[in-house]
A and B are shown apart, each in its own frame.
Chain A
Amino acid sequence: MRPSRLTPRRLAMVLLLLAGCLLLSMALALTMGSVRVPPGTILQALSGRGAPEETSIILLQVRLPRILLAALTGAALACAGASFQAVLRNPLADPYILGISGGAALGAILSTLTGGDSPLSGVLARPIFAFAGACLTVLAILALSRSRGVTASTPMLLIGWIFNSFFLALILFLETAVDFSRVRGAIFWLVGTLSPVPYPVLAGLTAAVGSGFVILWLLSRDFDLICAGEETARHMGCNVERTRVVAILAASLITAAVVSFSGLIGFVGLIVPHAARFLFGPDHRLLLPASALLGSAGLVLADALSRTLLAPTEVPVGVLTVLVGGPAFILLYRRHRGEISHD
């Protein structure tokens, strides 16, 4: 049984432990790939001395940025999933299942179609368009699945799924209409793939995901209260409307930021928060950072697996997460059926 209340000590212990797991998984991922690199060489390359130049390039220009992107993406998706589950009061919410990632992807593709692929549009316009796409999608879902002030979980999942299918079709249609040869690239993008991105882009991405995370974390106690019911949360002094709007904006921001560079990686936002809740309890002050670290480590390992499973061919990491996430969704659906039909 977990302790009766969350203390700063417990928070720090759990997060340190998970940060350790994340570092380990990143170190492991650095050694894995079509070329195996022993740990000693990795240390040499990271310190900038003694490693063969070719190995250094593989590690620092190819593997490391990709691992960092995986870590950021996993953290962002898991944290967004946990937040959406709370503020939408739906235990099966996930940015991918609800079509929010799809909305972000559509926004991102629209920006590349309109603005071309100049470096500026790639780095700035793409995430902004993606953010707009994600926000519009959540707001539409919320408006459509709410009646008489109550959000209903099952219609929300259905509507989200329809949005998702619709966006995917639209993305493929647009890509085909513009340039037939790009379709293959689009498909690859739609299932979610991680590839190395330049370090300045990674820095910008870290800033976006980091600020979104801080905003969500500051709202984490409000999330606990909203789990007890919207009116009840209000009675305990929570400003539910403001919390919901700010949380949706922040969670959409971090989703859109990572979707712009990694495509649609599904179910991370569903599975990771449930695993974290199972391990550490439902208190969001711990759950949000724990989900972020766990999601980070999880996606780093999943990506390493995707590079090595059928090497030298790569399986898109989005394929792996959906292969695990689909069955997990069914299990979670059976477990939470009572709660979902409750609304």
Chain B
Amino acid sequence: MTEALSAQRIRFGYGSRPLLKDFSLELGEGEFAGVLGPNGAGKTTVLRLLSGTLRPQAGIVRLFGESLSELPPRKRAQLMGVVPQESWILFPFTVMEVVLMGRFPHLGILGMENPDDEDLALTCLEEVGMREAYGRPLSSLSSGERQRVLIARALAQQPRILLLDEPTTFLDLKHRLLIYEILSRLNASRKLAVLTISHDLNLAARYCGKLWLLKEGDLLASGSPAEVLTPELLRKAYETDVEVGHDPRTGSPFIIPYPSQDAGGAS
């Protein structure tokens, strides 16, 4: 089986300062996985390398078996959708206009969307529960609603893998849960592979089947949530004492942080 996305010993840094050292990752088709780590661990660098914004200085990234750096931009966009953290847009584009932008990789030069594209965009909005908002300017929406529209825009590319850059950072409790519910549903119904770069340990623990834990550009651990989210590893990654319990309803681990016992941290 070809992996949907794979990175083999990729490395990136500026000057002598490495941001990511020999990182490897494999994401199968239809998998739901997450990259975790504290600030400065290299999460954003991982996302930019995996999405093709940055080129690794060593190693290779493959998307469905093909070298990412050699794929033409439109072809890449047909396979992979990326949901950015930043949802601001210049000029008052409406929700529908924003989602239709996702059709770009499927249209030629000056190509205009046809009624089928519009139906598809509406379906994508339906999937994220934003169908009614299609005529509103994007800027009039709350950050949680905007995030959902951006997921719909990525879906309009009809990708087979979705990358999300900290999709819940600026959101309230309701929306944080809602975003992961939407992703989990898409993952199940469309066999869409999902990779989130995340801060949110408890949500990642509940929804992701596979995790990678980073610290200062090093991979600390990878595996199932139970294997990665252990008190020892989290203490090492976040320099904070944690208690790991088990969610009585889902059985997934959940993490409660405490101030570190020894003042020097765990390094």
User: Contact residues of A with B, CB < 8 Å?
Assistant: 1-2, 4-8, 11, 86, 89, 91, 217-218, 220-221, 224-225, 227-229, 231-232, 234-239, 277, 281-283, 285, 339, 342
The answer to whether B77 touches A235 (Cβ under 8 A) is yes
Contact of B84 among A5, A7, A231, A339 (CB under 8 A): A231
Please report the C-alpha to C-alpha distance between residue A309 and residue B74 in the assembled complex, in whole angstroms: 54
Q: Mark B109-152, 1 if CB is under 8 A from A, else 0.
A: 11111000110000000000000001100000000000000000
Could you say which of A4, A86, A342 has the most chain B C-beta atoms within 10 Å of its C-beta? A4
B residues contacting the other copy or chain, number (CB 8 A): 43
Contact of A220 among B81, B91, B107, B110 (CB under 8 A): B110
Please report the C-alpha to C-alpha distance between residue A59 and residue B107 in the assembled complex, in whole angstroms: 47
The answer to whether B112 touches A237 (Cβ under 8 A) is no
User: Contact residues of B with A, CB < 8 Å?
Assistant: 48, 51-53, 73-78, 80-82, 84, 86, 88-94, 96-98, 100-102, 104-105, 107, 109-113, 117-118, 134-135, 153-154, 157
The answer to whether B96 touches A5 (Cβ under 8 A) is yes
The answer to whether B86 touches A229 (Cβ under 8 A) is yes
CB distance from B258 to the nearest CB of A (A): 36
The answer to whether A342 touches B88 (Cβ under 8 A) is yes
Please report the C-alpha to C-alpha distance between residue A232 and residue B135 in the assembled complex, in whole angstroms: 21
**What residue in chain B is nearest A340 (Cβ atoms)?**
B90
The answer to whether A236 touches B105 (Cβ under 8 A) is yes
Assuming the contacts A5-B97, A224-B101, A238-B104, asked whether A91 and B84 have C-beta atoms less than 8 A apart, the reply is no
Contact of B109 among A218, A231, A235, A237 (CB under 8 A): A218
Please report the C-alpha to C-alpha distance between residue A232 and residue B85 in the assembled complex, in whole angstroms: 10
Please report the C-alpha to C-alpha distance between residue A342 and residue B87 in the assembled complex, in whole angstroms: 12
Q: Which residues of B contact A2 (CB under 8 A)?
A: 94
Could you say which of B74, B78, B104, B154 has the most chain A C-beta atoms within 10 Å of its C-beta? B104
Q: Which residues of B contact A217 (CB under 8 A)?
A: 110
Contact of B113 among A5, A225, A227, A277 (CB under 8 A): A5
Known: A220-B110, A224-B97. 4 other contacts (CB 8 A): A221-B109, A227-B93, A282-B92, A282-B97
